[in-house]
Amino acid sequence: MLLEKTIAEVGTLYLEPMAEAKKRLDSLIKPPGSLGRLEELAVQLAGITGNPRPVVGDRVIIIMAGDHGVVAEGVSVAPQEITHQQIPAFLSGVAGIGVLGRLAGARLVVVDVGVAVPVDYPGVLNRKVRPGTGNIARGPAMTREEAVRSVEVGIEVVQGEIDRGATLIGLGDMGIGNTTPSSAIAAVLGGYTPEEVTGRGTLVNDQVLRQKIKVVAMALEVNRPDPADALDVLAKVGGLEIGGLAGVILGAAARRVPVVIDGFITTAAAMVAVALQPRVKEFMIASHLSGEQGHRLMLEYLGLVPMLYLNMRLGEGTGAALAMHLVEAACRVINEMASFSEAGIADLDEDKILK
């Protein structure tokens, strides 16, 4: 089975190229470590790719789109049809991710893994597992088989893009109502209360927020997902695009390609992927700290450190797109800066440096 095979293929970071990258970084004309996270990123990329002087080539942002039966509970400001309506704006470049993906030099791949209505825009990959999930406040989102299939869609799509040359993957999501299942996943897998990980999404008012928290609690009560079984969690309280994104992470990690996660939804997908295979964590790069309540806890749970603090809460991969610039910066630093000896500059006084 593709999922099990992919999980087994995920390896660990290559230590030797990491050590070599670290040595190079320490030789450059700057105090050791003074480029902070950029240096850590360069070392991580060396460990992922095996190249001690990592480079960023083709960038692809994979946007998984799906709908959510739970919108029947009044948890969202936006009507469900926006999921479907937004897709042409992604592809024509006038949505948030259209604009920021272009700035990042990334190609967008939009996948219908579970939009409620037929999507026939040219350029959208039709990988629909089912038209929207069930209402998680009343029953499961999908069957276990559908959950597996959604993850496999992500694996197939990302590996197809890697075959076509992608060397850096960003994650994006589209799905009206998808903060609610993401909160439910975070609560189950992270062991948080619904209050801790349920936020305002697209800035809903207090009344809708209370309703969302109630709905998350109902979803957990009605479905009783097993925290030790990520596929059970995904099937019972998840979403099709969340499964697809978990698959993208697994599929990229199995091929040793770095994955930039985005905000709340893609981090819920990351929790699913890590629950299926803890080693994928080493292949992920956190981009931004979302304005959505709970995102900080989820990143802490995963041990990921965000780089951008922009109070964004749009999703679509917009934070991942912005962070690609930082990934490129890390690669530029290790490849383009000179060493002290190359530049003929006096070295630092080792006796005075913090060890």
Residues known to be catalytic: 316
Pick one of 91, 99, 222, 304: the residue that binds its own copies (CB under 8 A).
Answer: 99
Closest CA to 275 of 168, 177, 153, 191: 191
Among 1, 12, 120, 336, binds its own copies (CB under 8 A): 336
Residue type, 239: G
For residue 91, state whether it binds its own copies (rule: CB under 8 A): no
**Residue among 222 and 310 whose Cβ is closer to its own copies:** 310
Under the binding rule (CB under 8 A), the answer on residue 61 touching its own copies is no
**341 is an interface residue for its own copies by CB under 8 A:** no
Q: Which of 11, 228, 338, 341 binds its own copies (CB under 8 A)?
A: 338
Q: Residue 156 CA to chain centroid, in angstroms? A: 16
**Separation between Cα atoms, residue 254 and residue 175, nearest integer Å:** 26
Q: How far is the CB of 132 from its own copies (least distance, A)?
A: 17
Helix (H, G, I), strand (E, B) or coil at 173: strand
Nearer Cβ to its own copies, position 122 or 344?
A: 344
What is residue 346's DSSP assignment? P
- The whole-angstrom distance between residue 342's C-alpha and the CA centroid of its chain comes to 39
Judged by CB under 8 A, the stretch of 17-25, 85-93, 142-150, 234-242 that binds its own copies is: 85-93
Distance CA 256, CA 345 (A): 37
> How many chain residues bind its own copies (CB under 8 A)?
72
Residues in the chain: 355
- 331 pairs with which residues across the strands? none
Cα–Cα distance measured from residue 142 to residue 156, given in angstroms and rounded to the nearest whole number: 20
266-325 binders of its own copies (CB under 8 A): 291, 305-314, 318, 322, 325
Q: Pattern 187-226, binding to its own copies, x per CB under 8 A?
A: -------------xxxxxxxxx------------------
